[in-house]
Chains A and B, each alone.
Chain A
Amino acid sequence: MSSIASPAAGSRVVVARGPRPQSLTAGRIGLYCFILVTAVYFLAPLYVMLMTSFKSMDEIRLGNIFNLPQHFTLQPWIDAWLHACTGLNCTGISVGFTNSVIITVPSVILSIAAGAINGYALSFWKPRGANVLFAILLLGAFVPYQAFLYPLVRVYSTLGLFNTLTNIITVHIIFGLPVMTLLFRNFYAGIPMELFKAARVDGAGFWRTFFSVMLPMSTPIIIVAVILQATNIWNDFLFGLVFAGRENLPMTVQLNNIVNSTQGERAYNVDMAATILTALVPLAIYFFSGRWFVRGIAAGAVKG
């Protein structure tokens, strides 16, 4: 106890000194319980999927979905990657993985590039009607994608680009533009105007200022943008289904085909393995981006 306690014998008056004592209140305990339950609730499906994917079909038929596998096997994973059938093709989900990479990489790079240039131009060059332009662009983020499907199909078939790689990539760029522009515009709005003025006095033009001054400062927001766009585009199903074409179906669409087109007995273990494989890329992004991911959520929150 404190050496400078109250002289009054018997009455235990504690002098307030130093850090305030921590106490475990009922509210705290309730909060922890809630967090625990929530975590179990969300992790349980993942656990079941993982366990199922390592079991043989014989073991799955016993129905003990929470049990650990008795005979651990990787065969379902190999089947899912290389041999699972979508209709008549039995080449596994690896084809979809390759397609998704081919679609995602250029879409992410180009949509971020377009958003960065847009945001830069809107923040610093302030062209006439910049705010109106920006408002219209943002409006695009709030219109349901379904409303665009038919018109876009018509446009692309008229151009002779329907169901090509160009088709799906440009669609991703167009629909990524509003949020990317918003993200970069807000980021550049926080950079002092004087920096831009200094570059102009130094004789740097539109592109020189962008590439030499602004872009090198944009690393934090570019990371956020990559997280947002990579997960969004990888997870996309609707656009992939409609615009990618049979040759370029992304992993998500291929997964759906594998799971839904099986004849006869359902290979649950293969389905689970294929699903986890598909989810692995966004999962890895979430895990490795750490604090950047939180910023991404905060920045993405504005999109509503």
Chain B
Amino acid sequence: MIATSTKPVAPAATETAMPPAVALSPDEASVSIRDLVIQYGALTVLDRMSLNVGKGEFLVLLGPSGCGKSTLLNAIAGLLDIADGEIWIAGKNVTWEEPKDRGIGMVFQSYALYPRMTIEQNMSFGLKISGLPKSEVAERVAKAAKMLRLEQLLKRRPSELSGGQRQRVAIGRALVRNVDVFLFDEPLSNLDAQLRAELRVEIKQLHQDLGNTMIYVTHDQIEAMTLANRIAVMKGGIIQQLDTPEVIYNRPANRFVAGFIGSPAMSFLTGTVEGGAAPRFSANGLTVPLDRYDFDSTASGQLEATLGARPEHIIVGNPASGTDDGRWLWLDGKVRLLEPTGADTIVWTELAGQPLTIRVTADQKLKVGEQFHFALDLTRLSLFNAGTGVRL
């Protein structure tokens, strides 16, 4: 359950083009958190957390509100007093350094632009304080403005800008600092859906162009999946899983991660697992053969377990189309509810007396109350220990 430091996962599905998903040694890390403890009074928010972020890596801290992700980011920025531990940035121990001396730039959810300054003054404020010569300041601001398409807006006040433009200015303010590490604290949460999607692409493009280390806090799994090289899924101040988006999605380390990632959420069936030569999961008259399941641990004997199936890993159709060498397990059910979302429709049905959701394309004409056939993809199931929630 406590997968705190980089977990040396070695399953087959760990192939990524971008920076390493394998364990980083603290020395080659761009940002390194060592045994970090953060307390608010008697409440311990983070307890002995360690985390290494590689150079040029885009790490997303993902989790529900109150999981400590923003706290961790603020601690890295130096905006928060820590109780114990060390923070290293670019090979330098910055635990006691002021935020400005840490080599970080930060972008906030509420943009946090200085309202009485023009866009240009907003972006150059930090540089002026650091005493950089005027020509250099102007040059850096111009460069950042060009990159973020803000040239036309430099003389305006933040109140005259749209939300998306304001956030671009905030990114620009971090950009001009020429730092190694960018910190993003839910930067897109205040924007509407369309702008969020646009700016998400821009941030990704920016990361590709600059190659800086970026640490990005969000509760939006789409942002996490699309942007990250690695995602750290957090809950209750503990990193539940730290891995590439692919692994997080396909092989969630525990039931929390499985339920948190994916929309619509994974369906869970409770039942029992029997190990041995022909492992199988059974619940309420349903039997699912598990000989194609890639077990994390060698289970033997009988065990209370939860079976997880993603709505998009279930197909609807005719059993006559085959089981594809036993990859598909054909079942049938009754349509309880339909949720059309445009491109897809979410079908609610029941399996072994427990609710199950299936994602089908909109051209599948199903009606409420109708009997229909569907098949579980036996290669893409997830199994968790019902007691501990850990993946089996």
Contacts and interface: CB of A to CB of B under 8 A. Distances in A.
Interface of A: 192, 194-195, 197-204, 208, 212-213, 216-217
A201 B110 contact: no
B187 to A, nearest CB: 11
Contacts of B113: 198
A200 B104 CA distance: 11
B116 A198 contact: no
Interface of B: 74, 77-79, 98-100, 104-106, 108-110, 112-117, 125-126, 129-130, 170, 173, 185
A188 to B, nearest CB: 14
A193 B35 CA distance: 27
23 contacts: A194-B109, A194-B110, A194-B112, A197-B77, A197-B108, A197-B112, A198-B113, A198-B114, A198-B173, A199-B125, A200-B100, A201-B79, A201-B106, A202-B100, A202-B173, A203-B99, A203-B126, A203-B130, A204-B129, A208-B129, A212-B114, A216-B117, A217-B115
A195 B100 contact: no
A198 B174 CA distance: 10
Contact of B108 (A194, A212, A213): A194
A192 B109 CA distance: 11
A67 to B, nearest CB: 55
B129 A197 contact: no
A202 B109 CA distance: 16
A198 B117 CA distance: 14
A120 to B, nearest CB: 15
B168 to A, nearest CB: 15
A104 to B, nearest CB: 28
Contacts of A194: 108-110, 112, 185
Nearest to A208: B129
A198 B111 CA distance: 9
B128 to A, nearest CB: 9
Contact of B112 (A192, A208, A212, A216): A192
B79 A200 contact: yes
B100 A201 contact: yes
Contact of A200 (B99, B105, B115, B173): B99
Contacts of B112: 192, 194-195, 197-198
A200 B250 CA distance: 41
B106 A213 contact: no
A205 B114 CA distance: 15
B77 A201 contact: yes
A201 B125 contact: no
A191 to B, nearest CB: 9
Nearest to A218: B116
Contacts of A201: 77, 79, 99-100, 104-106, 126
A-B complex: 8 closest residue pairs judged by Cβ atoms: A202-B126, A203-B100, A216-B116, A198-B112, A194-B112, A194-B108, A203-B129, A201-B99
A243 B375 CA distance: 92
A4 B227 CA distance: 60
A195 B114 contact: yes
A198 B106 contact: yes
Nearest to B115: A217
Contacts of A203: 98-100, 126, 129-130
Given A200-B100, A202-B125, A203-B100, A192 B130 contact: no
A77 B132 CA distance: 62
Contacts of A198: 106, 108, 112-114, 170, 173
A131 to B, nearest CB: 13
B188 to A, nearest CB: 15
Contacts of A213: 114
A199 B105 CA distance: 11
Contacts of A208: 129
Most interface-central of A192, A200, A203, A204 (chain B CB within 10 A): A203
Most interface-central of B105, B110, B113, B116 (chain A CB within 10 A): B116
A198 B115 CA distance: 12
Nearest to B77: A201
B125 A212 contact: yes
B100 A192 contact: no
B191 to A, nearest CB: 15
